[in-house]
């Protein structure tokens, strides 16, 4: 079922320069994702998209050198390697080197009518994008620390999948799955969302943001819990796995190890496997508002401490099945292959280099 074909498709790229650089490099064995490698991933995405005929990419600007390196790669690759790149537009937004940059970039991409947003980051980056992207499908690529939401995926192939969906060779309906989210409200006002896990800790401050001390975590909510996950959702995944496409989530109340109904050894950060006690575990039904038991503490969203709440604040959490759409890259390539889209000649393979290669 091929859908309408689009010749002037624009794809957005959010590459978070800050992902994969937080304190977990120091307190756990987390890897670092260099700026150079992020720029290289964007390069491969662009070449993958260009092969499928995507003419234009808009990209979040940054001060860390990702966008600058990509532009240099484009110049050098075009001149020296006969590479064919799409036009790259850096969005005109103020750069504050904070989460607001991502939020603004996504808003701008939505206004521009991009067909797909490709995200490079960890769970936290994807959460920010999900806040503002509406129904624009995301391709979620992992360059963060705890990556329960995005996957490791070769960027060339991800770029080709983006091109296939952006140009209509594979329809959005065929390509995407709808994700769940956890929503959190404070004193009756919806404050934010989490894609994978939301935790309550007894910290006083947000501090360096990342959460790696299990003794501080008092409650965990998850949208889904995979047994092979890394991060706080791993605790739920080892206690009671919940699939990504099921219509329910999980709520755990924690206690000191050795107490309560269950103690697990869980990988809560790369290389950091710790005992975690669970005193209560219950299934979360959609839209069932759960008040949190702590009166003072910090809310973490997808592994990062986000905001503090104080005595008198009322915090509720609930599961919402209407989260962002994500593109299933393997499925897109599979559908495209079945349709013979990669068989020459193809209306979707428009790169000049490919044409030259066949002609020779």
Partner 1 sequence: MKAQLSKEDLLKAYRKMREIREFEDRVHVEFAKGTLPGFVHLYSGEEAVAVGVCEHLNDLDRIASTHRGHGHCIAKGVELEGMMAEIYGKKTGTCGGKGGSMHIADLDKGMMGANGIVGAGPPLIAGAALASKLRKDGSVGVVFFGDGASNQGTNFESMNFAVTLDLPMIFVLENNGYAESTSPKYSAKVGSDNIADRARGFGMPAVTVDGNDFFAVYEAAGEAIERARKGGGPTFIECKTMRYFGHFEGDAQTYRPKDEVKGARANDCPLKRFAAAVTSAGLVEAAELEAIDKSVLDQVEKAVKAAEAAPQPDLDALMADVYVSY
Using CB under 8 A as the criterion, which residues of the chain lie in contact with partner 1 when the complex forms?
Answer: 17-18, 21-23, 25-27, 32, 34-36, 63-65, 67-69, 72, 95, 97-98, 204-209, 296, 308, 310-311
Q: Is residue 224 within 8 Å of 177, Cβ to Cβ?
A: no
Q: Least separation, in Å, of the C-beta of 205 and partner 1?
A: 4
Q: Least separation, in Å, of the C-beta of 97 and partner 1?
A: 6
Our CB check for partner 1 shows the closer of 18 and 299 to be: 18
What are the CA-CA distances from residue 25 to residues 31, 33, 86, 112, 212 (Å)?
A: 7, 10, 35, 36, 11
233 Cβ contact list (under 8 Å, min separation 6): 148, 196, 197, 220, 222, 224, 225, 226
Q: Least separation, in Å, of the C-beta of 17 and partner 1?
A: 7
Our CB check for partner 1 shows the closer of 67 and 333 to be: 67
Q: Least separation, in Å, of the C-beta of 190 and partner 1?
A: 21
Q: Least separation, in Å, of the C-beta of 343 and partner 1?
A: 40
38 Cβ contact list (under 8 Å, min separation 6): 15, 17, 66, 120, 143
Our CB check for partner 1 shows the closer of 16 and 176 to be: 16
Our CB check for partner 1 shows the closer of 53 and 121 to be: 121
Please give the Cα distance from 37 to 41 (Å, whole number): 6
> What single-letter DSSP state applies at residue 6?
-
Interstrand relation of 249-255 and 272-284 (parallel, antiparallel or unpaired)? antiparallel
The tokens of 341 are what? 């889209």
CA 110 to chain centre: 17
CA dihedral 23, 28, 29, 31 (to 10 degrees): -20
Element (H, E) at 235: helix 233-239
3-state SS, residue 284: strand
Our CB check for partner 1 shows the closer of 93 and 110 to be: 93
Q: Is residue 145 within 8 Å of 269, Cβ to Cβ?
A: yes
Q: Least separation, in Å, of the C-beta of 306 and partner 1?
A: 13
Place of tokens 């190890």: 257
Our CB check for partner 1 shows the closer of 72 and 352 to be: 72
Our CB check for partner 1 shows the closer of 65 and 260 to be: 65
Q: Least separation, in Å, of the C-beta of 197 and partner 1?
A: 21
Q: Least separation, in Å, of the C-beta of 296 and partner 1?
A: 8
Our CB check for partner 1 shows the closer of 70 and 114 to be: 70
Q: Is residue 152 within 8 Å of 142, Cβ to Cβ?
A: yes
**Over the range 243-268, which residues count as b (16 or more CB within 10 Å of their CB) and which as e?**
eeeeebbbbbbbbebeebebebebbb
Cis peptide before 178, with omega less than 30 degrees from 0?
no
Q: Least separation, in Å, of the C-beta of 182 and partner 1?
A: 24
Our CB check for partner 1 shows the closer of 207 and 357 to be: 207
């Amino acid at each position: 079922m091929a859908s309408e074909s689009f010749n002037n498709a624009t794809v957005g790229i959010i590459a978070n320069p800050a992902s994969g650089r937080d304190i977990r490099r120091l307190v756990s064995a987390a890897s670092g994702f260099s700026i150079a490698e992020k720029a290289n991933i964007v390069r491969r995405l662009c070449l993958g998209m260009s092969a499928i005929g995507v003419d234009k990419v808009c990209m979040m600007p940054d001060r860390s050198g990702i966008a600058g390196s990509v532009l240099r790669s484009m110049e050098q690759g075009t001149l020296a390697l006969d590479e064919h790149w799409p036009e790259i537009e850096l969005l005109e937004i103020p750069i504050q080197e904070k989460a607001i940059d991502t939020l603004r970039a996504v808003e701008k991409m939505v206004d521009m009518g991009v067909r797909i947003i490709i995200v490079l980051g960890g769970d936290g980056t994807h959460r920010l994008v999900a806040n503002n992207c509406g129904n624009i499908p995301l391709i979620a690529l992992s360059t963060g620390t705890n990556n329960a939401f995005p996957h490791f995926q070769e960027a060339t192939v991800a770029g080709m999948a983006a091109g296939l969906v952006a140009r209509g060779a594979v329809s959005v309906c065929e390509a995407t799955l709808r994700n769940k989210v956890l929503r959190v409200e404070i004193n009756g006002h919806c404050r934010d969302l989490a894609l994978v896990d939301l935790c309550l800790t007894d910290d006083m401050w947000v501090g360096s943001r990342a959460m790696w001390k299990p003794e501080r975590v008092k409650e965990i909510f998850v949208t889904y819990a995979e047994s092979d996950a890394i991060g706080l959702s791993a605790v739920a995944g080892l206690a009671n796995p919940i699939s990504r496409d099921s219509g329910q989530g999980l709520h755990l109340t924690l206690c000191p190890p050795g107490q309560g109904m269950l103690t697990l050894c869980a990988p809560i950060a790369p290389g950091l496997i710790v005992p975690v006690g669970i005193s209560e575990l219950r299934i979360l039904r959609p839209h069932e508002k759960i008040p949190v038991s702590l009166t003072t503490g910090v809310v973490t969203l997808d592994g990062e401490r986000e905001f503090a709440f104080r005595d008198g604040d009322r915090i509720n959490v609930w599961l919402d099945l209407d989260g962002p759409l994500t593109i299933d890259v393997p499925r897109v390539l599979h559908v495209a292959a079945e349709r013979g889209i990669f068989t020459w000649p193809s209306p979707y393979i428009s790169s000049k280099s490919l044409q030259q290669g066949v002609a020779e």
